[in-house]
A = this chain, B = another copy of it.
Amino acid sequence: MIAFQGARGAFSEEAARKLAGPRVAVLPCERFEDVFRSLADGRADGAVVPIENTLAGSVHENYDHLQHFDLPIVAETSVRIVHNLIALDGVTFGRLRRVYSHPVALNQCLDFFKNNPKIEKTTFYDTAGSVKMLAEEKMRDAGAIASAVAAEIYGARILRRSIEDDRQNFTRFFLLRTPEYARRHAVRAPKNAAWKTSLVFSTRNVPGALFRVVSAFALRDLNLAKIESRPLRGKPWEYLFYLDFFGRVDSPNVENALNHLRELADYMRVLGCYPKGA
């Protein structure tokens, strides 16, 4: 059972099927925190969460949850985000007065709203959930923006396909497991596949601290894929850093870099090691 945020048909569900198999059982949750908690409590045996979008940036709330929960990342994937305009069967485009969706999705379809000024954007907590709501409330003057799968699940129709402004729209997702599960099912990946490791650290607030950390990787020819800063609670203007680099935790090179980082950092934790996603 894989937990994800949103209603059935959410992009997170698509990611869950890519990461855990097309027929996996899913547990839709209302909030990101519930997704993490479902896995921690044993109601689910996996959790799928979005971590960054190529247009909107990082999902900071999930970085914070990765830090607070001890649920290792065991896989990543990315999903191309295609936003479709969806309405109930028999509802024509001309009858739409409002379109519901998640604020991020609405903001990624601004050209559509500019070209159709009579249609009002209306924020809703979830993309697929807005299609579900159309169906439950039998709304005949409103549409929703969501995935094609959401239209199918709730028996609605796609009026316009791919109305997003920018097609370079991808979201990266992590699959999380419990520490026990991750230990028992060490991931088998092709021997020559690239691996990534994600970690979180804070440095002592001294000059050159970040330079030294970045050096610990560069001196060992380990390449960074991403670095992200988040405020450190209780220490104004100090930061936690989330770092992804290419490498496997069990390679001697990476072990040395991590030991070096432990010398430099006030706090450090590996969040997971997983094959680079497609």
Contacts and interface: CB of A to CB of B under 8 A. Distances in A.
Interface of A: 52-58, 60, 78, 166, 168, 170, 172, 207-208, 210-211, 214-215, 217-218, 221, 223-231, 233-237, 239
Contacts of A231: 52-57
A28 to B, nearest CB: 22
B57 A168 contact: no
Contacts of A210: 214, 224, 227
A208 B218 CA distance: 6
18 contacts: A55-B233, A56-B231, A57-B60, A58-B229, A166-B234, A168-B235, A170-B237, A172-B237, A208-B218, A208-B221, A210-B214, A210-B227, A211-B215, A211-B217, A226-B229, A226-B237, A227-B229, A229-B229
A166 B232 CA distance: 13
Given A207-B221, A211-B217, A223-B207, A236 B57 contact: no
Contacts of A56: 231
Contact of A236 (B58, B168, B237): B168
Lowest 5 A-B CB distances belong to which pairs? A211-B218, A54-B236, A207-B223, A211-B214, A208-B218
A237 B54 contact: yes
B52 A233 contact: no
A60 B230 CA distance: 12
Contacts of A227: 210, 227, 229
B57 A233 contact: no
Contact of A57 (B172, B211, B230): B230
A230 B170 CA distance: 14
A53 to B, nearest CB: 7
Most buried by B among A56, A211, A230: A211
Contacts of A78: 236
B229 A228 contact: yes
Given A54-B236, A168-B235, A227-B229, 4 more contacts: A57-B231, A210-B224, A214-B214, A215-B215
Contacts of A53: 231
A171 to B, nearest CB: 10
Contacts of A239: 226
A54 B232 CA distance: 7
Contacts of A57: 60, 230-231
A225 B234 CA distance: 17
A170 B57 CA distance: 23
